[in-house]
Every structure is written in structure tokens, then in C-alpha cells.
Structure 1
């Protein structure tokens, strides 16, 4: 059966691949011209609900900028004699840790961090996570007071809530844009083949050079790291994405301590149930995730999950006639793959148990899985 779906713990989305926004330049040939890397197509699943009432704001946009600007930095990178780039970042702690995107510092031979006062310092990449597009850079400034910005709770964000983005678009340092939270719980595919779950969608303008900068709520707290846009034209079209701050809070301390973050892993691939598959299988609902294949000796195989062994072609499409359908994890309904990935990211670590509620050819089963480290 053709696998039109996704790999759990390594999700490959069929709808769109979205690459990060980053100013890249060749110091010899193009004199700093920005290049926007985007992709075409529609995006994946929506998770989260629209809230009609937006709570009152604690600060004005002017207040937000004045409160935050000292914490936002410019990150310049050299990858060779001529290749380099520029992104943004923000101060995480007073002892010199700065957060940015992994793609900003990828393959960097030299990293320079510039602060609001104009002082620049050499940065050392302490830890990175390619799959979540997060990096930590360490600086030791001698003349600059480091002003960390508070990390907020991204799980409290509501659709329609006002936010602001601060960064260095096209090298224009300390630039601010504003907008709203357009949606929460997006799934953002990465070049690595994995996907970032629980991503924030915003209409605040994000352009080349904004990568790694903070997305800030109206309390002046970081709720995300500006990471990517989606566009069919190569220009900002009102759809930007940010890695949620709760992911930052979970991952960054581990990156500082160990240089890497180890992800929990299930070891299955599959596809979301849709109305056509539900009809063929005689299901009452089109919710759930169909397990297409199970990796040998993976947590999924040890838990007893079964993949597809029998298919049938109908109207030009191949349908799975068997294979477990995951309907819930730890008592939480699984509508789409996004629900599984968000649960893994928010709640689970390597070695944790996870209880799966499964439909196996009409029989309801509960299977317990012990999560292992994701293979590299």
C-alpha cells in the first residue's frame, strides 16, 4: 500500500513542506542581497479552537517594544570565506545564553552576536536540535548588560490574541511587526523529515532575517520563536509560524546541559483516517490514525501494534482493509496525527508509558507502549 501519510516521531507531511525564513548572502557576489526560502501549497492540520473573546492587554505595542528591544539580538554567521547569513535571537539568561533557530547557525564556522548597544561578541553554539529548529548560543559580553526576556506559557494562547514579532528583517535591526494568533497546534514539516508539533500560526509580518527572533504576547513574554512562513510567491503572505515557548522551556535547559535533546519515539508510520477510508472500513467516524507499518523491535512492535497487511484498490485508490487505528492516547482523543505528536512533545519523555486505545478490525483494545529514544 502506498504510504501517503506520515511517520510518527518523524512526520512527512503530504500537503506542504515549509522551509525557514533566513537572510542568506554571498559577501563577494551579491553584496548582502536577501534570499527568501519558502514553499508552495496548503498546510496540514488545524488543532485548537477559536475563542471569540480576547482578554485585555497588559501593555501597549510601544511598551512591548521598549520592554523587549534590549533582549533581541542580531546573529551573524560565516560558513566559509564567502558564505554567510544573518538571523535574530533573544537573551535567555543573564549568564550569556541566547536562543535562535538551528537553521540560522547550521554549519557555522563563526557566529557573531550583536546587541542593541552596537556591541558584538563571538558566540559559541552550545546545543542544537534540527528537528525542532532550536539552537542555543553562548556569549561572554564584557561591556553589555544582558537583559533576559521572560518565557511565557504558549498553551494559554488563544486565536485572535494580539502578538508582536521583533527581529532583524533584511538586516534592519530592531524591527517590530504586530498581528494576531491566527491558529495554534499547527504541524510544521522540517527538511530533516521530522515535523515540529504545536506550532503557532500568526499574521504578524515575518521576513528574511526574522528567524530566531521572539514572538511576544501583550504581557511582554516570549510565546514563540519566529521560524518560517508559507508563501506561493516568495513574499510574506500573512502566514508565519513560530515554535511554541513551552517547547523552548522543555528543550533549551537540556541543550544547555547536554548539547542535544533526545526525543521519544513510537516506531510507526501511517496516515490519518478520512471519510473514504472510514466508509470502506465501516467506521462510525473519520477520526483516528491508521497504522500502516510498524518498525521491527520498536516500542510499537513491543506493544503489539499491527500495520496493514491487506489492501484493495477502489476507484483508483488503494485502501487498507486492516491495520490498527489509534483512537486515543492516554485517554485523549486522536483526531489526526497532530494530536499524537503534540501529546508526545508536551507530555512525554523517553521511558514513559503511553496507553493507546486501538480499533483492530472492529475490536477495541488498549495497548501500553514504553517510549524509546528516536533513532538518529
Structure 2
């Protein structure tokens, strides 16, 4: 199928040493042929069979792959409906995968790379982050959880490794780079007041992600999980070089709650927002184009109770003037709706009181409100 913990137990010095060893060889140690010409001879220097970077990837694969599983989705008669990927999260047998992998399953069977099979059950799932936790009894001997990294440390251009089961081909590794950051995935769930919720800070990679890879880990060269592979952008249903991975910091927030309660509790403001361009700024008579322009408010929501003002929308004219423009939350700049969504998903809690700075009628004012829970 394809279409938010415990601290990493790796020593930071060891992690850096692994990364340095692999990265330092990319330019210097890649296979190469060097011709040496003279008037008498012409010889070719052949690179060694295995370069240092290849050795590093082989070691990473051998260390991590035992904890990457193939997930079979079964119907009531135990026929296979589809497959996905997942990876071991802890020593208690919890396995992380995608919500869309396990949705609608009557049963689940997990297969480890050595062929060992386990029945699994869904412990918790969250449609808005597309994350789910399944559980098996008794990990196979020698299988260790994969440590989690920090998606705030990711940079465009760094290497990324995807391991999973594309088209049912178990234990497939693909190598690419981080192609982009700050992408957005839209939830399958309709939000209160219409529209859909979204997950910000999604990772874009060109590491091959195909049907069956969903739920598998995206790793850095230290073998730490930096994302959970979730979707591809394609017109054919196969890899197009544009894949998306749920950031591991969303995993760190969502998964413990799924294990403990089966659900994750998102904070909720109760507004619909739109970004602005220069033309909209001029048409709406605003002093700036950056920010999150409020177009609709859910009745009875924290935004409604705090007195925020929405612009409304006209099918002929479009966005109307008169709405509040949110430009900061708790002192953090809001340059677009994604900034406010990121704050809510990664930094805020239900029942927390926050302060929005808005522009209304040309003046900046602060509006406090207490977050509710997303329903």
C-alpha cells in the first residue's frame, strides 16, 4: 500500500563517527576508473569491489533490516488484501506502521526477514498523522528496536535510506537524498467546519518508495529513523522520485499516546485559514501578505469564544475582507497557515492557553485562548 518514545539509545559520539565515516568517503571513495597514458602503455586502475560507502550501507542494512517487517492485511477468511511495511519500536513488540496500511483489516500477520511469522493486533491508530501501532507477542531472538533520530536535524541534500517491502519484495533498500522539507500531507478525515486536517513538516525524498513501502522507516546514515514512509506523488502508482515521509518528531509525540490510550489528542483552535499573496493583500487592504488569514470559525470553538473574526467567503468574489490575520503564536512568527499548524501539532497541548497576535483593522492586538481537543 502507498498513497505524528524512548530516546535513541545510540551514543551521540558513535552516531557522529558513523556518519562521518560514511559521508567522508562519498566523493573520495566512489568507484572510479583512472586512465594512465604514456607513449608505450595505457592502463586502467580498477576500484576495489566494495567502497567504504558501500561497506557503510551494508553494515547499516545488516543492523537495521532484522527489525523491518512485512505486514500482511487479512480479511475475515484470512485472505491477503494487501501488504505494507513496519518497524520494531520497542522490546515489548510494538511495531510502527501507517494508519492507511491497517485500516479495514480483519487480521494482521507480520513476517520478519528471517521468515518468522507473528499474528498482530492494532493497538492504536491516528488518521491525521497516518500513523498506527500494532503489537506482536515475543520478538524473535536478536531483533532490536530501531533508534529514533530528530527530524529537526534533517537538511536538504543529506542521504536518506528507505527499507521496506515494495510490491511484496521483502527487505528492499533504496538510497536517495532529502529532496525537500516542510511539505504537507492532507488527512483523509473531514475536519470540524469542513475542509481537512493536515500534517506539516513532512519530508520529501527521492529514495524509491513504491506500493508496499508504506509504514517502513526512512533512515539517516547512522541508522536512525528520521521518518515513516507514507506516500508517493505519481500518475502511475509507482515511484516517480517524489516520496513523502512522516517526520520522526511526529512519531515521538503520537506513538506513546497510541500505545497508552489507542488515540492521540490534538489541540484544536477551530478556524479555517488561507495564505495570502501580494494581490490578495492589496485587495483585502492588509498591511502585509505573510500570516494566516482567518476565513471561517467553528461555532463554539476556542476561536469563537475568544472573539476571533473570520472574513467569510463568496463563491463569486472569493475571500472577503474583514478577517483577522494571525501573525504570531506565543511569540513565534506565523508566516503562513502551516506555521500555526506546526505549532499546534508539535508544540501545543490540549487545555493549554496560548496567545495569538493578530492584525485587525490595521492594528496589532493579542488574543489569548485556551485550546480544546480536536474531535
User: Aligned match of 1:247 in 228, 247, 250?
Assistant: 250
> 1:279-311, CA deviations, whole angstroms, 9 ceiling, x for partnerless residues?
113334311111111111111112221112587
In the alignment, structure 1 residue 65 sits paired with structure 2 residue 65: no
* Match of residue 318 from structure 1: 318
Q: Tell me the equivalent position of 2:239.
A: 236
Computed over aligned residues only, the root mean square deviation of the Cα atoms, in angstroms, reads: 1.9
| Per-residue CA distance 1:319-339 (angstroms, 9 max, x = gap) | 422110111111122121111
1:176 and 2:173 correspond: yes
Residues 310 and 322 of structure 1 are in contact (CA less than 8 Å); yes or no, is this contact kept in structure 2?
no
Contact 2:128 2:199 in 1 (8 A): yes
C-alpha change, 1:108 and 1:56, in structure 2 (3 Å) is closer
1:144-189 CA-partner distances (Å, limit 9, x unpaired): 4431000111111011111100000001100000111111121101
Structure 1 window deviating more from structure 2 (57-66 vs 337-346): it is 57-66
Give the whole-Å Cα distance in 2 for the aligned partners of 1:200 and 1:216. Answer: 12
Q: TM-score, normalised by structure 1?
A: 0.81
Partner of 1:185: 182
1:274 lines up with 2:277 in the alignment: yes
Which runs of no fewer than 5 residues in structure 2 stay unpaired? Answer: 4-17, 23-55, 190-195
Distance 1:220 1:142, change over 3 A: closer
> Is the helix fraction higher in 1 or 2?
2
CA shift digits 1:106-129 (9 cap, x unpaired): 111110111121100000111111
**Aligned twin of 1:348:** 348
Aligned to 1:126: 123
Secondary structure (helix, strand or coil) at the match of 2:253 reads helix
Is 1:86–2:89 an aligned residue pair? Answer: no
CA shift for structure 1 position 56: 5.4
Taking a change above 3 Å as real, the CA distance of residues 143 and 307 of structure 1, as seen in their structure-2 partners, is closer
Superimposed CA distance per residue, residues 254-284 of structure 1 (whole angstroms, 9 cap, x where no aligned partner): 1111011111100011211121110113334
**In 2, distance between residues paired with 1:122 and 1:319?**
52
CA contact (8 A) 1:327 1:359 kept: yes
Q: Does 2:337 align with 1:331? A: no
Counterpart residue number, 1:100? 97
Query: Residues 79 and 57 (structure 1 numbering): CA distance in 2 closer, same or farther, change over 3 Å?
Result: farther
Residue 134 of structure 1 and its aligned partner are, at CA, apart by: 0.7
Cα distance in 2 for partners of 1:228, 1:80 equals 27
